[in-house]
Structure 1
């Protein structure tokens, strides 16, 4: 397993692989901002917009590649913050393809992102995830602090509402 950061150009050229990971996660029930059924091209369009944000310096995109070099996980550090929050960044779109789960991919992505945030001088990271999810257990295990829950915050991909939990980490 290889964890690395993509630049905007490579993110754009690999948008189809990134889209496959996103599609698999949504079809597997992950509430990550998309609803089923996913329209054709929706996932690719999302990753093209992410690639543009990476190219602009607003986001850092980390991927996990399997032994064959295929992307099997992703995580973003959003650094485009308001003027009064230059010390903060948001963590976004922790996605691990179902074929690569339970292999430490998510934790390795998270550690790479945290190291990059430190190198950028960011001292406060914030994220949200579905309450009680595997991701929430990972964040708590790796030292993230639970801030609170918001009931009925979002919808699961098949429609029912779900609660979200906010977490933060001081680096």
Structure 2
């Protein structure tokens, strides 16, 4: 019997109630990564989507975006670029600030991470409010990249992030919604 790869991935995601605080259900991708079948299905979903598109790099957002992004870059024979939380990169950086529920945060990249005109796929594990993805996209664009799409495993559409990303002009692809 053939299993739908998207359902295989969705069913492997663990829902943790009341974490990190009361009323929040955390969507944990760890079981997807631990199970070879669901991990392969996840990567294959992304590979099949992007294998015929002309791209130069995959940019992964700190930290779970590194896991998916680096494997995807390897499978697509592309370079990988980390988009890090502030203060984690050792070389010359450029930063982009974004709003959090209580305050601000920022993401950074090395100033030489992308070349003008390079086509970049932006990857993270989950889209909630969209702030991190929009900031990462702006950062890539400031360095001259053409961000092709924002991709994630999970979309939480009720939080409005995927809508915010689309409104910024960036197409969005996600494997499943909760």
Higher relative contact order (CA 8 A, sep 6+): 1
Q: Normalization by structure 1: what TM-score?
A: 0.33
What TM-score, normalized to structure 2? 0.32
